[in-house]
Amino acid sequence: MTIPIIRQVSDIRKPDEIRELCSQNTPVFVTKNGEIHFVAISQEQYKEYETMKAHLELRSQLSIAETENRSGAPRISHAELMGQIREKIHGKTL
């Protein structure tokens, strides 16, 4: 478990200080008046965050699809779906 880095906004004078703190691969919580003002993370951490968000969105969509499948919602074939997608993209079916 990593120990969070907490700094007061008034303690940070230059962007290089934030960059140096973020290089420790842990979020930097910057506070103002005793409350979190913003959180700074490294570019590597941001990529991990984006990947995690994408996985959560995919799981959400899969959960919706499973619920629809169990409810007996109408289905379409793969070919029909691809035709609809192509029509939306190109404005016509191929």
Please give the residue range of the domain that contains residue 32. 5-41
Candidates 49, 39, 43; CA nearest to 12 is 39
Query: Model's pTM, two decimal places?
Result: 0.62
* Structural domain total, the chain: 2
Residues 38-92: tens digit of each pLDDT? 999 999 999 999 999 999 999 999 999 899 889 987 888 999 999 999 999 988 6
Residues 52 and 32 in one domain: no
If asked whether residues 84 and 51 sit together in one domain, one would say: yes
Residues 68-94 as b/e (b if ≥16 CB within 10 A, e otherwise) read eeeeeeeeeeeeeeeeeeeeeeeeeee
The pLDDT confidence band at residue 16, using thresholds 50, 70 and 90, is: confident
Pairing of strands 5-8, 28-32: parallel
Q: Which amino acid is at 55?
A: H
Q: Are residues 57 and 81 in the same domain?
A: yes
Q: How confident is the model at residue 1 (pLDDT cuts 50, 70, 90)?
A: low
User: 54 and 83: one domain?
Assistant: yes
